[in-house]
Amino acid sequence: MVAKDEGVLAGLPFVEELFLMVGGVYVKPLKNEGSLFTEGEVLLEIEGRALEILSCERLALNLLQSLSGIATYTRSLVEALEGTNIKLLDTRKTTPGYRFFEKYAVRVGGGKNHRFALYDMVLIKDNHKRVAGGLKEAVKLVKEKVGPAYKIEVEVENLTEVEEALSEGVDIIMLDNFSPEGVKEAIKIVNGRVKVEVSGGINLENIKDYAVEGVDFISCGSVIHHAPWVDLSLRVL
């Protein structure tokens, strides 16, 4: 399997397991998971009958190309945050049925997983606030339902909601679609009392503008849904 691109390798364990399931195929990785590769490098060698190898060719390539693409784009965002204490998070904007793989690739690229599913923590978003009748009402309903068992994060849309979230004793405040200047104003209000996450339209072009002191997390759905696939090829020798 040869690289026709450069990037960060992700997905090797799944490809090895795939050929193991088929049986009679030996996979020899020539690069480590999470390592950088350049165009023209041989990433792994596969030995076995053509029938078994070619029956898995496309799935193996799809896994490595898509997951390496996510890991590569994630690595570029993480590198843009170097010199800060900000952690890069993914979101739950994932391909249906493919979340486990995509979130794994984010970790290989150096990012962190936000939530895998609804059971991990409570995130109160705009629609929740509207249904409940407001931010304060939504937080109170959640606390009545789950008590202290789960951390509560609230998505806020303006500085007034920042104040409201602080008054309700939430664990994390997400600044949604704030400008970099708005983030700075919100950080002054929070003043280190809770963790702060910044989200909404953040990508490789503008992430450094949001790397404001006092921000704990930056979350990007783009690490998954905007990551271009890495081009790889399987060649029979």
Q: Give catalytic residue positions.
A: 93
**Is-contact 102 67, C-beta < 8 A?**
yes
52: its two tokens: 């078994």
**Is-contact 111 78, C-beta < 8 A?**
yes
**Is-contact 71 108, C-beta < 8 A?**
yes
Can you tell me the distance from the alpha carbon of 153 to that of 148, in angstroms, rounded to the nearest whole number? Answer: 13
H or E, element range at 3:
strand 2-3
Can you tell me the distance from the alpha carbon of 154 to that of 162, in angstroms, rounded to the nearest whole number? Answer: 9
Can you tell me the distance from the alpha carbon of 172 to that of 177, in angstroms, rounded to the nearest whole number? Answer: 16
Q: What single letter denotes the amino acid at residue 89?
A: L
**Is-contact 91 216, C-beta < 8 A?**
no
End-to-end CA distance of the chain: 11
Q: What single letter denotes the amino acid at residue 13?
A: P
- Between CA 199 and CA 210, with CA 204 as vertex, the angle to 5 degrees is 45
- Between CA 189 and CA 104, with CA 157 as vertex, the angle to 5 degrees is 100
